[in-house]
A = this chain, B = another copy of it.
Amino acid sequence: MQSLQEKASEWSGVHTNDAFAIDETNLYEKLGLQTFINLSTNFYNRVYDDEEEWFRSIFANSKKEDAIQNQYEFFVQRMGGPPLYSQRRGHPALIARHRPFPVTRQAAERWLHHMQQALDSTSDIDSDSKIKMMNFFRHTAFFLVAGDELKNQRQAIACKHATEKPSAV
C-alpha cells in the first residue's frame, strides 16, 4: 500500500525532497512576519470572494480572520519562525484538522490556484521563495487529499461492520 507521502508525491508531481526544500533556507527570517500575514490575508480575501460557490462554501463556517491567523501562524512555525501555532493550538495535526472539510483533488487545485495568485500579488516575495513555497503547498495539498481518502475508506469499513451487526445477532 502506498504511504501518505508517496501518494502526495505522485498526485502532486512534487517529490518529498522538493516539498521540504523549504527547510534549506529559513524563509521566516528571509521574508519576515508581516509578509506571511500579508500572504494569508491576500489568500483568504480571494477564497472568501471566490466566484466558485462550491469552493467558497467549504470555508463558510469559519471566520475569515481566524482562517488567516491559523494559516500564517502555521506557515511561520513551519518555515523557521517561532512556534506561534503550537503555542496557541497545539500540534498542527494537519490531516485531523482538515477532517471536517471535503479535501478533494478539485479542492486542492482550487486552493493552489488562489495561493499562486496570492504569492504573485504579495510584495517582497522573491522568486526562489515562491518556488519553494509552491512546491511545499502543492505537496501538502495532495498529502491532505491522501488523508481525506484514508478517512473515507476507514469510515466505509467501520460502517460496513456496523451495518453487518444485525445479521450477526
Interface residues of A (CB under 8 A from B): 3-5, 8, 16-17, 19-20, 23, 82-83, 86-97, 99, 139-140, 143, 147, 150, 154-155, 158-159, 162-163
Contact = CB atoms under 8 A, between A and B. Distances in A.
Contacts of A140: 91
B23 A83 contact: yes
Contact of A91 (B17, B92, B162): B92
A3 B8 CA distance: 28
The 5 closest A-B pairs by CB, nearest first: A5-B90, A95-B96, A159-B162, A159-B159, A93-B95
A93 B90 contact: no
Given A19-B90, A20-B87, A96-B150, 12 more contacts: A3-B89, A4-B90, A5-B90, A8-B90, A17-B87, A23-B82, A91-B94, A93-B96, A96-B147, A154-B155, A155-B155, A155-B158
